[in-house]
Structure 1
Amino acid sequence: MTVAPVIHIGGWPGAGKKTIGRIVADQMGGRLIHNHIMLDAARAIYARDTPESIAMREEVRTLILAHARRLPSDVPIVLTDALADEPAAIPLFQPTLDLARDRNAPLHLFALDLSVAENQRRLTDPSRLGSDKLTDANVLKTLRGKDKLFVQDGTRMLDVTDMSAQDAADRICAYVEQSNA
């Protein structure tokens, strides 16, 4: 029996990680574990980036990934994250590597890139309102001006500036299917 892949989709806030990840998981019959599952749980209790919030986020991540390891081996797992290229990204990304290793699953890494203007437009989409997602275009502009995306070796870059979420998901699925053939 073939072991289903672990797929990691990284990118800037507002790039479409969760939407694209949901489509990929649906098309492949898999599960989506998006980064806001951990963030939102911790933010419900603590202020963002406090030691307590960070600890809770890691506890929630550990619990979720422990259960993900129990999924049948033929169930693909799609994870999303928005990480800056800084030393703190390595320990935050390591659980993805560990999950793939523990499942003996192929790991496919994707990073969504897009123009700043399109990123700001998507970030202010009304569907993001009322969530804990970033919606301030000025904060995004500052982030993009001072940070680079964390891109692990072997990551496939996907410019989604002029691409629909469906088209991006189709490209990811086609690449994964081709790689696993």
Structure 2
Amino acid sequence: MHLVCITGPPAVGKMTVGRAVCDLTGFRLFHNHMSIEPLLGVYDFGTPSFRRINAMIRREVIAESVVADLPGLVFTFAIDLDQPGDLEQLHELIEPVEAAGAPVDLVELHAAQEVRLAREGGADRMDHKRSKRDIDWARSHTLDLESRARFNTDPARDGERLLPGHRHLRLDNEHGDARATAERIVTELALPRR
């Protein structure tokens, strides 16, 4: 199984690009809101219970994907690069894939904040992310998160790789053409095509 992790800030296009990568490769998509949305009816976002159960779901889905012998999995998430716990959790999530000797690649998307805020309310986000349906709240939430978290790497500060030993692509996704970004990912990572 090949794990492709797509990271970046809110509304950068992780799910949409991930879906396009899956269309080209036949990989499966596990986007971050697939574990977030079911929990929001029970736990408040970011509480210890929410974080613990969310991490457990993600860990189990990724581990089971190796056992299920999927050809590949695209996993999307946002990570606060200034929180050591977030980085530790990422390493825990990919550990079953590494233990199986399978490849893990990281794709980091970036786009200007004003571009991302304008994407709130888009049909794709509304269809798959219930918590984002209140557009004013979603924009405010993004601004709040970004005031206290860092979602993109800075090579001068973070070195060349977020996951040492694994390929790491940094791609501009301001243009909003998910298919073009997916084509670059598939080509640059030499992923198998359908």
| Matches of 2:175 and 2:67, distance apart in 1 | 38
SS in 1 for 2:4: strand
SS in 2 for 1:177: coil
Match of 1:147 among 149, 162, 165: 149
1:75-154 matches, within 5 Å, as 75-85=71-81, 86-129=83-126, 131-133=130-132, 135=135, 136-149=138-151, 151=153, 152-153=162-163, 154=167
Contact 2:17 2:179 in 1 (8 A): yes
Structure 1 alignment gaps of length 5 or more = none
SS in 2 for 1:88: helix
Question: Larger deviation: 87-96 or 10-19?
Answer: 87-96
Contact 1:69 1:102 in 2 (8 A): no
Amino acid at match of 2:14: K
Deviations 1:131-169 (A, max 9, x none): 124843233234334432254145211011124011111
Taking every aligned residue pair, what percent have the same amino acid on both sides? 22
Say whether 1:22 aligns with 2:24.
no
Contact 1:124 1:137 in 2 (8 A): no
| Matches of 1:150 and 1:118, distance apart in 2 | 15
| Matches of 1:41 and 1:161, distance apart in 2 | 29
Amino acid at match of 1:138: S
| Matches of 2:3 and 2:77, distance apart in 1 | 13
Q: State the Cα distance separating 1:97 from its structure 2 match.
A: 2.7
Provide the alpha-carbon RMSD of the alignment. 2.4
Identify the residue that residue 65 of structure 2 maps to in structure 1.
68
| Matches of 2:44 and 2:191, distance apart in 1 | 43
Match of 2:172 among 134, 159, 163: 159
Question: Larger deviation: 145-154 or 45-54?
Answer: 145-154
Number of paired residues? 175
Q: State the Cα distance separating 1:82 from its structure 2 match.
A: 0.7
SS in 1 for 2:171: strand
Structure 2 alignment gaps of length 5 or more = 154-161
